[in-house]
Amino acid sequence: MLRRLPLSRLLLLGVLVVLIGVSATALASALDSGPTPPPKPLAQAIHDALAGAGGQQIQGISASVTLTDHLLEGASLASGHDGASSPEGELTSNPLVTGASGRLWIAGGHVRLELQSQQGDTQVLYDGNTVSLYDAATNTEYRYTPPASQDETSSSTPSSAQHETPSVAKIEEAIAHLSKNADVSGATPTDVAGQAAYTVRVSPKESGSLFGGVELSFDAVHGLPLRAAIYSSTTATPVIELAATEISYGPVSSSVFDVNPPANAKIEELGTPASGGANPQHKPADAGEKPNVTTHGSGPSTIAVLTSKEKTGSKATSEPLEGLPKVTINGTSASELRTELGTLLTFERSGVRYLLAGSVTPAAIEAVARGL
C-alpha cells in the first residue's frame, strides 16, 4: 500500500507519525515530571530549605519508600551445611539487605520504617531513646539503647535555640571546610516524590577507594531528606539508596508507633556490659584484653587492622564468617567478604585473630595481610 501512495502523501504520513510521537513524548514527560525549584547556590538552597515555609513546624511525615541494596550482591554467602538454614542465609533474605518497598512515619521524635518481603516484614522503630529492629522471618527483635552523653543530660539550651537556622555565611563556611577533602556539587534542581527538591553530591577527592560518593536530595521547602544514595567508584548506579516515592506532611496517629513483636519472639539486647544489657551475668571472655587496632594508608583508602588473641578452642570469632569464600594468605586459609564498597578479610595464625577492613579492592586488602 505504501509503495502505491504518491510521494506527497507519503511525506505527509511520515510527518504525521513524527508529530504524534513527539506530542506523546512531551505529554508523557509533562505527566511524569513534578515541580522543580529555581536554581540557587548550594548554601542559599540549604538555608532556605532549613528555614522552611514561613517557619511553619511539620507535625508529622508519612511516606512510601523504596530501599535499593546491592551491597552483598554476588558476595557468595553460603547457606548452612547440607542445605540447612544459617545466619548467612537469613541475612541475605532480609529486606534490609536485599532491598524492598515499604512505609515510613516520623512524628514527635518517633520513627517507624516498615519494609515488606515475602519472608515477612521488617520493622525498624525509634522511640527517642531505643532503636529496635524486628525481623519477622526469624521472629527476632534486636534492641539497642545508646548511652546518654554528658551533653544530652546537662544541656539546658532552649529547644527554639537548638533549631535556629544557620546563616548562609555559616553554611558556606561548612561547605568550604568539607571541600578541602571532597568535591561538593552545586544544588541541582529536581523533584522527588512529587516535591520540589535539590540534589547535592559529595565525592572524595583522593582516588584509590571503592567509595565513590554520596548523594542527598532534600525538600526545597521543608528541608527534609527525600532521597539518600551511596555510590561505588566502579559503578554508575547507587549501591544503597533509600528514596521516597510518595510523601505527605501532617499529623500522624500515635498508634502507628505502637508496634510490638509477638509474645514468643526472641529478644536480643545489643550493647556493652556497661550499658546494662538484657543478660548482665554474661561477661565476654578475656574482658581484660582489648583488641589492638592499627591502620595502613590514609584517606578513604585506609585499611584498618584489628588483632586479638584467640582463646584455645574458641570459634566465636570465626563461626559467623565460615560461609565466606576462602583465600590463602601466606599458606593460611582466610575468609573474605567482597562488596561493592569494600572488603573484609579475617584469618587466625599462631593464636592471633586478624581482621582487616577497608573501602578498597580485595587485592589491596590481601597485600596488607601478606605483610603482617
- Convert the pLDDT of each residue in 256-313 to its tens digit: 999 888 889 999 888 644 444 444 444 444 444 678 999 999 889 999 999 998 765 5
Interatomic CA distance for residues 250 and 252, integer angstroms:
7
CA–CA distance, 86 with 248 (Å, rounded to integer):
40
Domain at 42-149+162-270: CATH architecture: Clam (2.50)
Show pLDDT as tens, one digit a residue, over the chain (372 residues). Answer: 545 555 444 444 454 444 444 444 443 433 345 789 999 999 999 999 988 755 567 889 999 999 999 988 766 555 444 444 444 555 566 788 888 999 999 998 999 999 988 777 899 999 989 999 998 888 899 999 988 765 555 544 444 445 688 999 999 999 999 999 999 999 999 999 999 999 999 999 998 899 999 999 999 998 899 999 999 999 999 999 999 999 999 999 999 999 888 889 999 888 644 444 444 444 444 444 678 999 999 889 999 999 998 765 555 545 556 668 899 999 999 999 999 999 999 999 999 999 999 999 999 999 999 999
Rounded distance, CA 367 to CA 79, Å?
A: 29
Q: Specify the pLDDT at position 321.
A: 63
Domains of the chain, residue spans: 42-149+162-270, 284-370
Which CATH number applies to 284-370?
A: 3.30.200
> What amino acid occupies position 52?
G
What pLDDT sits at residue 285? 44
What are the tens digits of pLDDT across the range 170-221?
A: 999 999 999 999 999 999 999 999 999 999 999 999 988 999 999 999 999 9
As given in the structure block, the three cell numbers for residue 365 are 586488602
Pairing of strands 110-115, 100-107: antiparallel
Residue 96, H or E segment: helix 95-98
- In this structure, the number of other CB atoms found within 10 A of the CB of residue 32 comes to 8
**Angle, in degrees to the nearest 10, between helices 168-178 and 42-51:** 130
Residues sharing a CB contact under 8 Å with residue 101, sequence separation 6 or more, in sequence order? 64, 65, 66, 67, 115, 116, 245
